[in-house]
Amino acid sequence: MYYVYILECNDGSLYTGITTDVARRFKEHVAGVGAKYTKARTPVRIAYQEKHPDRSSASKREAEIKGYTRERKMAVISKK
């Protein structure tokens, strides 16, 4: 099982990624072990997550969300 997640960072920006364990990955991002983006902007919360059966579908959804405007990402978050 894979998850697509959106993190809210300390500057209010949003970061989208995929993982098999959202809680573990969030801790990695907070510790500065995650992506370069979150190393510079510490995540403050997991704003959204959704399940996917495999890496391929999660990666496709991640790419789709990354192409969204901030407003559209906020709409995805508010639907949870």
Q: Would you say 41 and 11 are in contact if contact means Cβ atoms under 8 Å apart?
A: yes
32: left (phi over 0), alpha (psi -120 to 50) or beta: left
* Global confidence as pTM: 0.94
Instruction: Supply the pLDDT for residue 59.
Output: 98
Instruction: Annotate 18-43 with b (16+ C-beta within 10 A) or e (fewer).
Output: bbeebeebbebbeeeebbeebeebeb
pLDDT digits (tens, 9 = 90+) for 3-49: 999 999 999 999 999 999 999 999 999 999 878 999 999 999 999 99
> Which domains occur in the chain, in start order?
2-78 (3.40.1440.10)
